[in-house]
Amino acid sequence: MSKFRTIVMFTVLAAVTCVLLVGVHRFEKRLDAQVAEYRLRFTGEIRNAPPMVIFTTVALGSFRGLVADLLWLRAGALQEKGNYFEMVQLARWITDLQPTFSGATAYLAWNMAYNISVTCSSFADRWRWVNEGIRLIRDQALYYNPEDPVIYKELAWIFSHKLGNILDDANLYYKNRLALQMASIVGEAGNPDWEKLAAAPESERAFLKKYKEDHVLWKAAQAAGFANYDMLFKAFEASAPELPKELTAQLGSDAKLKEELTCYFRAELLRKKLKLDAGRIVKLNKKYGMMDWRVPESQAIYWATLGAEKAPGGHDLSCDRIVTQSLYESFRAGRLMMIDEKNFESIIVVPNLALIDSVFNTFVEVQKYHDGEKNFYSTFRSARINFMKEAVTILYNYGKFSKAAEYYKKLEEEDGKQKEGSLEKFIMAQWAEDVRDAGVKKASEIISGLIFRSINYLVYNDHDAAVANERIARYIYKSYMSDMGDSDRTKLPPFNEMKKTVLENCIRVFPPAVVEILKAKIAAEQAESAIDDSLSGQRKRVK
């Protein structure tokens, strides 16, 4: 009897075990589905780690937390003493020991980019620390945490706030260096044919598969002294953004192959150095409009968009805020006209008018997702209204009158009838606000800046924008002089003198080729003006 009971008990236990196993399996499948749907991950999970990091984490086990704590204490002591250079290596070790602790990496990067950088008097040293902060996140933390939206947000913030803003005295230096960094990889203009770069092989393996051993490329490469792929890539890296002259000479007249190789090596160098993918850049350009990838806001959009995609539902509030703010700033000043390659002390940026619709639509989209489409108190709605007010003025300033009218209508639909009434009166009020309560220095800066912008547009054959900017400058000048120009202490020089001074400065700082274009444009304008004066005189005599 006891034997029978034993058999029955084991049978029942086996049946219960089977039922439990089936239940666990079904529950595990549900969990796996939710992990995939919401992009969740185990906090101890380490992906993409190099062998040394895997060895360290396994060998040390739980003790790696203690080692990391000791490194944190060492880093704090070094910072208090002002000994910063060892901290770069310490930050990398801490990240290796705690690769999935995104908060630690974010703090270390922020500390280098913000706290340590501002202790340096040299702008070059400041840039070095800001760049180290960027590299810690972009080259290391993202390698271990490709699915963590927090890491993407922190990286995007540095580009948007530290490099894109004007709060740091060295901000112009940062902007120049970033522009040169991009141009040194993809070409002087900084905006190559992105679709051609995206169409190139996406990796070394794909490149070697396309250009096999018997391809004419390798015969030319060996004749040029490059025995294998690694030597060829290093040679391009040294001569970037163009192919090495030795290889170009060996390829002869094969222009198509030269272009294909240039596009591939530029795209591959972009992936290796800046971790930017040309294919994703093409998608973002199609989604938002053609962006200038030499300005920090574009790269902020790149990383924040990636972060939002990694979040549940494809949206993250912090990342979405950075995208909307950076798009707004790109519209206001997202097209690079000129950089200071020698001193890094000045930069000329103008609005990127091609982005206007995407800025508006993105504000609408993120408000709908986070706050609700009809939420009157949404911060995204308030930002959208401010954007429309500024956009109307910018569009009008640059001669886009029909588009300005379109957005003025949208503004009234969203914010009610404006107190100024008509579009023209609204624009006049905005212009007047630019110089209201402004001192002589501020007024001079505004007017000189508009004249300078007008001259730049003249050089780049945008006649309408040139005329529009000078018109605004004259209007602001007259408004200021009528209110403040009755005193020797506050009055400005004659407008033509101000224009002459700005023009002479442009001739001094512009490259020789641009100066020749400018002189030709001025000569043509003077000749046209002389003809108009002559005709006007003849008409007066006839009368």
Instruction: Look up residue 491 and give its DSSP letter.
Output: P
Contacts 24+ apart (CB under 8 A), 59-68: 60/97, 64/97, 64/98, 65/97, 65/98, 67/97, 68/94, 68/97, 68/98, 68/104
- Which is more confident, 58 or 97? 97
- Which is more confident, 81 or 464? 464
Highest-scoring range by mean pLDDT, 114-118, 354-358, 427-431: 354-358
Q: Which stretches within 82-201 are classed as H helix? A: 85-97, 102-110, 123-135, 142-144, 149-157, 171-186, 194-199
Whether 383 is covered by a domain: the verdict is no
Angle at 267 between CA 262 and CA 271, to 5 degrees: 145
Rounded CA-CA distance 233/229 in Å is 6
Output the CA–CA distances (angstroms, integers) from residue 103 to 47, 56, 146, 155, in the order listed.
Answer: 17, 20, 15, 12
Rounded CA-CA distance 533/67 in Å is 82
Tell whether the model's pLDDT for residue 295 goes beyond 70: yes
Same domain, 33 and 58: no
Tell whether the model's pLDDT for residue 489 goes beyond 70: no
- Structural domain span for residue 466: 426-542
Whether 295 is covered by a domain: the verdict is no
Same domain, 6 and 108: no
| Span 478-498, average pLDDT | 76
Whether 245 is covered by a domain: the verdict is no
Whether 303 is covered by a domain: the verdict is no
pLDDT value of residue 431: 73
DSSP string for 248-260: HHHHTT-HHHHHH
Same domain, 53 and 137: yes
Q: Which of 298, 334, 305, 299 is nearest to 321 (CA)?
A: 305
pLDDT band, residue 44 (cuts 50/70/90): very low
Rounded CA-CA distance 445/447 in Å is 6
CB within 8 Å of 354: residues ≥ 6 apart: 289, 290
DSSP string for 38-67: HT---TT---S--HHHHHHHHHHGGGHHHH
Longest dimension (CA), the chain: 136
- Cβ pair 127, 133 in contact under 8 A: no
pLDDT band, residue 448 (cuts 50/70/90): confident
| CA 28 to the chain's CA centroid | 41
Of 93, 112, 145, the residue that ends a domain is 145
Q: What is the CA radius of gyration of the chain?
A: 30
Token pair listed for 59: 């060998």
CB within 8 Å of 356: residues ≥ 6 apart: 331, 391, 395, 403, 407
Whether 362 is covered by a domain: the verdict is no
Q: How many CA atoms lie within 13 A of 145 on its CB side?
A: 31
Q: Which of 541, 385, 211 is nearest to 533 (CA)?
A: 541
Main-chain phi, psi angles of 295, to 5 degrees:
-95, 150
- Cβ pair 130, 112 in contact under 8 A: yes
Whether 57 is covered by a domain: the verdict is yes
- Cβ pair 296, 174 in contact under 8 A: yes
Q: Which residue's entry shows tokens 């950088």?
A: 117
| Span 203-221, average pLDDT | 93
Q: How many CA atoms lie within 13 A of 232 on its CB side?
A: 23
Tell whether the model's pLDDT for residue 280 goes beyond 80: yes
Same domain, 49 and 86: yes
pLDDT band, residue 344 (cuts 50/70/90): confident
Same domain, 115 and 21: no
Domain count, the chain: 3
| Span 380-389, average pLDDT | 93
Whether 514 is covered by a domain: the verdict is yes
Same domain, 69 and 136: yes
pLDDT band, residue 235 (cuts 50/70/90): very high
Same domain, 21 and 120: no
The secondary element (H helix, E strand) that includes residue 350 is: strand 347-350
| Span 272-296, average pLDDT | 95
Output the CA–CA distances (angstroms, integers) from residue 485 to 273, 411, 428, 471, 512, in the order listed.
Answer: 54, 35, 19, 19, 37
Same domain, 436 and 538: yes
Burial 429-438 (b: 16+ CB within 10 A, else e): ebbeebbeeb
pLDDT value of residue 521: 82
CB within 8 Å of 53: residues ≥ 6 apart: 46, 96, 99, 144
pLDDT value of residue 471: 85
Token pair listed for 19: 């039922």
Tens-place pLDDT, residues 72-92: 677 777 777 666 666 667 777
Same domain, 24 and 60: no
| CA 296 to the chain's CA centroid | 3
pLDDT value of residue 442: 65
| Span 337-350, average pLDDT | 78
CB within 8 Å of 294: residues ≥ 6 apart: 178, 179, 182, 183, 190, 191, 336, 339
Rounded CA-CA distance 294/263 in Å is 18
Q: Which residue's entry shows tokens 């030795």?
A: 246
Percent of the chain with pLDDT over 90: 39
Same domain, 132 and 89: yes
Same domain, 458 and 537: yes
User: Which amino acid, one-letter code, is at 363?
Assistant: F
Main-chain phi, psi angles of 119, to 5 degrees:
-80, -10
Tens-place pLDDT, residues 125-164: 999 999 999 998 998 888 888 888 989 999 999 999 999 9
- Cβ pair 454, 472 in contact under 8 A: no
pLDDT band, residue 43 (cuts 50/70/90): very low
Tell whether the model's pLDDT for residue 286 goes beyond 90: yes
Main-chain phi, psi angles of 50, to 5 degrees:
-70, 165
Whether a cis peptide bond, with omega within 30° of 0, leads into 494 is no
| Span 21-31, average pLDDT | 74
Instruction: Look up residue 313 and give its DSSP letter.
Output: G
Whether 49 is covered by a domain: the verdict is yes
Same domain, 31 and 96: no
Token pair listed for 456: 């730049």
Burial 170-197 (b: 16+ CB within 10 A, else e): bbbbbbbbbbbebbebbbeebbbebebb
